[in-house]
């Protein structure tokens, strides 16, 4: 089986310098998106439980859901 490695560079032009954004701005943005009070424990406990019971397929399904939720992306 062969494999291919791909590298991608993305350049983004914005009108804001990162040095102009302070910590309080970032916290405000996260709060506005509802990402400031996420409780990760239930998802992590469910993944651990599935792995403990040898249910690797279920653990992988839970991990995929968890990652999509945390990153706001879809697989």
Asked, for residue 64, whether it belongs to a domain, the answer is: yes
Q: What is the mean pLDDT of residues 2-19?
A: 82
Asked, for residue 70, whether it belongs to a domain, the answer is: yes
pLDDT digits (tens, 9 = 90+) for 36-71: 667 888 999 999 999 999 999 999 999 999 988 888
Asked, for residue 46, whether it belongs to a domain, the answer is: yes
3-state helix, strand, coil in the chain (%, to 5): 55, 0, 45
Characterise 32 by phi-psi region: left (phi > 0), alpha (psi -120 to 50), beta (else). alpha
Asked, for residue 72, whether it belongs to a domain, the answer is: yes
Split into its structural domains, the chain has a count of: 1
Whether 64 contacts 52, CB under 8 Å: no
Domain that holds residue 69: 39-75
Asked, for residue 10, whether it belongs to a domain, the answer is: no
Asked, for residue 26, whether it belongs to a domain, the answer is: no
Give counts: helices (H), strands (E), the chain.
Answer: 3, 0
């Amino acid at each position: 089986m062969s494999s291919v490695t791909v590298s991608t560079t993305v350049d983004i032009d914005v009108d804001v310098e990162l040095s102009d954004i302070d910590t309080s701005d970032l916290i405000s943005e996260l709060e506005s998106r509802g990402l400031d009070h996420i409780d990760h424990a239930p998802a992590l406990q469910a993944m651990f439980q599935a792995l403990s019971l040898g249910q690797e397929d279920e653990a992988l399904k839970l991990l995929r859901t968890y990652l999509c939720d945390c990153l706001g992306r879809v697989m």
